Amino acid sequence: MTGGDGLWITLEGGDGAGKTTQSDLLESWLRDAGRTVLRTREPGGSEVGQLIRDIVLHHRGDIAPRAEALLYAADRAHHVATVVGPALERGDIVIQDRYLDSSVAYQGAGRVLDAAEVRDLSLWATEGALPDLTVLLDLDPQIARTRLDAADKPFDRLEAEKLDFHVRVRAAFLALAVAEPARFLVVNAADTPDGIARTVRDRVTDLLAAR
């Protein structure tokens, strides 16, 4: 990103792809190596963001697509300005659950908005801030759905969308990874958690060595 010595890693993928498990494994590995880690997420990585998260995920009834995109972008603007940016300035390693790629995939491709416009909106919101690494946990939405069913938690608004929505979201994530191969690491989320964690660690090791 801009300024600072920190490293900014985001995790992306459909619901049920295992982002939390991988973030946990990466965090422990980095902490064991003596690094300072900040774990955060979107939506909801700041106090203002928590309020926005409650609207976008738990509001009953529809939210107009442009309003929804703006809410995610507002969360993101505040989060980058007050949480992520300062952490990177301090030299922390930021491990973040979801970033602007989620907006492009969910609001752009999953909904009816233009993907490039959704991306530009987020880039405006964050003054162009992009992570050093984005790990895309790619998973067949049918398998993801089975995992979510097994977890037996109530679905939020987006998880409750139909399968074809999640198929479009997956395709959008993969297209983003193809467009920016240097930023993305695509992993098969059907692999074992340890196998995936090793692949991620290898890439992070390279990034740390390169600075």
Residues in touch with ligand TYD (CB under 6 A): 15, 41-43, 57, 72, 97-98, 102-103, 106-107, 156, 158-159
Q: How far is the CB of 5 from ligand TYD (least distance, A)?
A: 26
Q: How far is the CB of 137 from ligand TYD (least distance, A)?
A: 11
Q: How far is the CB of 33 from ligand TYD (least distance, A)?
A: 26
Q: How far is CA 164 from the centre of its chain?
A: 21
Closer residue to ligand TYD (CB): 41 or 168: 41
Q: How far is the CB of 209 from ligand TYD (least distance, A)?
A: 30
- State the residue for tokens 């069913």: 149
Closer residue to ligand TYD (CB): 114 or 202: 114
Closer residue to ligand TYD (CB): 35 or 39: 39
Q: How far is the CB of 98 from ligand TYD (least distance, A)?
A: 4
Cα distance between residue 50 and residue 37, in whole Å: 21
